[in-house]
Structure 1
Amino acid sequence: MDVFYVHPTTFRSARNEWNQRPGDVEADRWTDESAILRQASAFTGCCRVWAPRYRAASVNAVISSTHRDEAFALAFTDVERAFDWFLANVSKGRPFILAGHSQGAKHISDLMQKRIDGTALQGRMVAAYIVGINLGQGEFGPRRFKSIPVCSRPAQTGCALQWNAVLAGSDLEKKLAPYRAFYTAQYGTQDGWEPVCVNPVTFDSARPASLSAEALGAAPGTPGLGPMKPLRAGAVAVRCDRGLAVVHLAPGLDLEPFPGGTMHLHDIGLFYADVRANAALRVKAWFSRLRRN
């Protein structure tokens, strides 16, 4: 089994550079140790992970209203070519998982829409872990993803899942307002605007809340250079509330939120061992169904 993983925004150049430079040693190291080590490696329990280099939109581009769309478009051309290479040279007809966080999740969602939804490749997609963006519930259906559903059960395959972590006590309405506005501008309606939230511990729509005792292991510390610290089990309680994954953290995890309580940097690290176990479960379920058919 193979995973096609796309990393988030990691190019932090102070200059007016809109996309990550190929071969930039410093940027590549930061990407590898702050993101790939702490996110993509969660899938190595079940699969071979392929994490391509690409000209990701820079931090400057992401915060720029003038250059953002152009930078994302250029980055996606790299992702799409990398996916073609992955299919031809890595996957070679085998099933696969898609995974990405933040900017990487945006590219994965665009790839899923353009290249997988309703095509023969959909039958090979075990799941898509699209983490840290704001896909609305109404995008799964006629508006965007016409035949790929949201994952509602832990062992379901051929589906997509998403969550955005925020600290308990955060102003949810303040965080949700821009999601609602973007969705309304995109689709001309507020119907279905609330973000998809799949609880990243239970992975079960019937269990939107979980106790800290159920959490298999979080990665302590803010992502950065150097190895991961040992995982801590039983350290995160989480509930889906209005489309956001609201978390209560045990003391000592040393996870720094963004202003307002957004835990964006830790969307996968908070649930590292849970994601690892769930990916393995979905792979097992996929092969079980293949044998029965």
Structure 2
Amino acid sequence: MVRAFLYFVATMIVLVIIGTFALNYWSDKATEIAFVPNTEFVEQDPLADNAYADPDMWYSRPGIGTADPARYQPAIAETQNPLPRSENEGTLVEQASKAGSRRITSEEEEKAPPFAVFFVHPTSYIPTNLDRDIQWNARLGDKETEDRARLFLRGLASPFNRAAEIWAPKYRQATVGAFLTDKPEAEQAIDAAYGDVEQAFDYFLESVDKDRPIVLAGHSQGSLQLLRLLRERIKGRPVEKRIAAVYAVGWPISLDHDLPVLPLPACERANESGCILSWSSFADDGDPTQLLKRFRASPGFDGKPRGDTPILCVNPITGFANSTAPADDNKGTLVPSEDLTSGELVAGAVGARCDQQGILRIGDPPAMGSAVLPGENYHVYDIPLFWRNVQEDVVTRVREWAAANS
């Protein structure tokens, strides 16, 4: 299980190499040629009405047992030494391993009322035209795509592993190129992916205890699909009152043109329930231009251009918006060793502050390996950077929801 997160990082390194080459050396047009399908959009057959009754349609769900990728639990590094800021000083885990590590014991776990998590994974269908013709949507059963999704879940969904139930569906996601073009086929592909997510959510609702609080979580494309789910399937319905928290991480949310349309507010307090958390991580001198360019040119959830408006930033260390926290308050970053043979939670590795744009700045980051995107974009690490704080944050919000609804 220790290697689970590391396989995730190793996979992302390959993607970063592709992304770095595309963003740094190719023109925007060449990047589009490489990643955007050159085929027509082909609508896939609808799933059967009872498709999600099949356990094989889920990466995570009750009954999977030790094979469930979302149930990964890393060791904790025991070190109080200063943390390295460059590879020349050694990695965090190399330093931590000298002091030893331990597992979290049951006595350390704060109890929370039973809750259910619905997690939508990020884009794992990442082919290029250099390899083969790209389809606009992934096909179910594509081994490379589904293996990659499982790896992502081990690194991104595991902080929610104190839930009584974690459900993470397979869905015919839009290819990565759908987010690099204005072609109408891109929107069709994203819409098609949403149809599967909504159907999976309906089955999830039928399957969980009707009084159990719900946490929605996702990353990148997964967060985009969750935000639509909030607007179209949850807003104004009884299930809205059951949402203890929404973790829509790695997808910008406009404060002026998106948030007012959503049924839940941004999280303003660390002990608030029924609210939304979102953040996008960059080093202090990182450049978020690529992240914001297409987002700001597209219409908001209210139908109006987003323009140069700030985005939602809820600091995952403090648990509330537009705040600052030192590294000492970070209870555990999930980091790999240099050779990717081990991984542990290291406390105090990185701080965080929300800047005026709504970007989460993480200072001068420690040595985290090669999976950092161009512009010192720590998108890959949005959740692992704050793994332990997120794990505790969700328990706090569920406990607050339970107290308010007892």
Same fold (TM over 0.5): yes
Does residue 41 of structure 1 match 2:155?
A: no
Correspondence 1:114-153 to 2 at 5 A: 114-138=232-256, 139-141=258-260, 144-145=261-262, 147-153=263-269
The CA distance in 1 between the partners of 2:220 and 2:270, in whole Å, is 22
Contact 1:46 1:279 (C-alpha < 8 Å) held by counterparts = no
Q: 2:282 aligns with which of 148, 166, 178?
A: 166
Q: After the TM superposition, list the runs of 4 or more consecutive aligned residues in structure 1 that deviate by more than 6 angstroms.
A: none
Quote the Cα distance in structure 2 between the aligned partners of 1:192 and 1:124: 34
How much does 1:250 deviate? Answer: 4.7
SS in 2 for 1:126: strand
Match of 2:314 among 171, 190, 198: 198
The whole-number CA distance in structure 1 between the counterparts of 2:302 and 2:210 is 36
CA contact (8 A) 2:298 2:306 kept: no
Opposite residue 55 of structure 1, the aligned amino acid is R
CA contact (8 A) 1:132 1:162 kept: yes
Q: Does 1:156 align with 2:272?
A: yes
Residue 8 (structure 1) aligned to one of 98, 122, 127: 122
Q: Answer yes or no: is the 8 Å Cα contact 1:197–1:243 preserved in 2.
A: yes
- Using the TM superposition, name which of 226-235 and 9-18 deviates more: 226-235
Which residue identity is paired with 1:101? Answer: H
- Counterpart amino acid of 1:6? V
Give the number of equivalent residue pairs: 283
Of 318, 335, 343, the residue aligned with 1:220 is: 335
- Deviation per CA, 1:226-274, whole angstroms, max 9, x where unpaired? 9971111110111000211011255332253211121111111111111
Q: Cα deviations across residues 32-54 of structure 1 (Å, max 9, x unaligned)?
A: 01x11011111012342100011
- Is residue 227 of structure 2 the alignment partner of residue 112 of structure 1? no
Range 63-72 or range 47-56, more displaced? 63-72
1:17–1:60 contact (8 Å) kept in structure 2: no
Higher Rg of the two aligned structures: 2
The answer as to 2:189 corresponding to 1:71 is yes
Q: How far did residue 85 of structure 1 move?
A: 0.3
Relative to structure 1, the CA distance from residue 278 to residue 69 in structure 2 (aligned partners, 3 Å threshold; closer, same or farther) is: same
Q: Structure 2: any 5+ residue segments left out of the alignment?
A: 1-114
Aligned letter for 2:313?
C
Alignment CA distance shift 1:288-1:120 (3 Å): same
Task: Quote the offset at 1:59 in angstroms.
Answer: 2.0
Partner SS for 2:127: coil
- Give 1:251's match in structure 2, choosing from 360, 366, 383: 366
Residues 1:176 and 1:12: Cα distance change in structure 2 (over 3 Å): closer
Pairwise CA distance, 1:192: 8.6
Secondary structure, counterpart of 2:222 in structure 1: helix
Counterparts in 2 of 1:245 and 1:47: CA distance versus 1, 3 Å: farther
Secondary structure of 2:334 counterpart:
coil
Give 2:398's match in structure 1, choosing from 280, 283, 286.
283
Q: Secondary structure at the match of 1:274?
A: helix
In structure 1, give the amino acid aligned to 2:172. Answer: R
Query: Which of 184, 187, 198 does residue 80 from structure 1 map onto?
Result: 198
After superposition, the Cα gap between the structure-2 partners of 1:184 and 1:119, relative to the gap in structure 1 and judged at 3 Å, is closer
Question: Is contact 1:128–1:161 with CA below 8 Å preserved after alignment?
Answer: yes
Among residues 292, 316, 325, which one is paired with 1:210 in the alignment?
A: 325
**CA distance in 1: counterparts of 2:249 and 2:341, whole angstroms:** 22
State the alpha-carbon separation in 1 of the partners of residues 383 and 300 from structure 2.
28
| Residues 28-76 of structure 1 deviation map (CA, whole Å, 9 limit, x = unaligned) | 111101x110111110123421000111111233334323211111100
Unaligned runs of 5+ in 1: none
Q: Indicate how the Cα distance of structure 1 residues 57 and 274 shifts in structure 2: closer, same or farther if over 3 A, else same.
A: same
Q: Which of 319, 327, 345 is matched with 1:231 structurally?
A: 345
Partner SS, residue 97 of structure 1: strand
Deviation at 1:188, TM superposition (A): 3.7
Structure 2 length-normalised TM: 0.65
Contact 2:297–2:307 (CA<8 Å) still a contact in 1? no
How many Å apart are 1:187 and its aligned residue?
Answer: 4.2
- Aligned Cα root-mean-square deviation (Å): 2.4
Matched position secondary structure for 2:267: coil
Cα separation, partners in 2 of 1:8 and 1:189, compared to 1, 3 Å: closer
Q: Which amino acid aligns with 1:23?
A: G
One-letter code of the match for 1:9? Answer: T
1:28 pairs, out of 137, 146, 171, with 146
| Of 218, 222, 227, the match for 1:100 | 218
Question: In the alignment, residue 137 of structure 1 is paired with which amino acid?
Answer: L
Q: Deviations over 1:181-211 (max 9, x none)?
A: 3357964466892100000110123x61110
Alignment partners' CA distance in 2, 1:90 and 1:140 = 28
Q: Does 1:182 align with 2:301?
A: no
1:273 and 1:88 map into 2 onto residues whose CA distance is 31
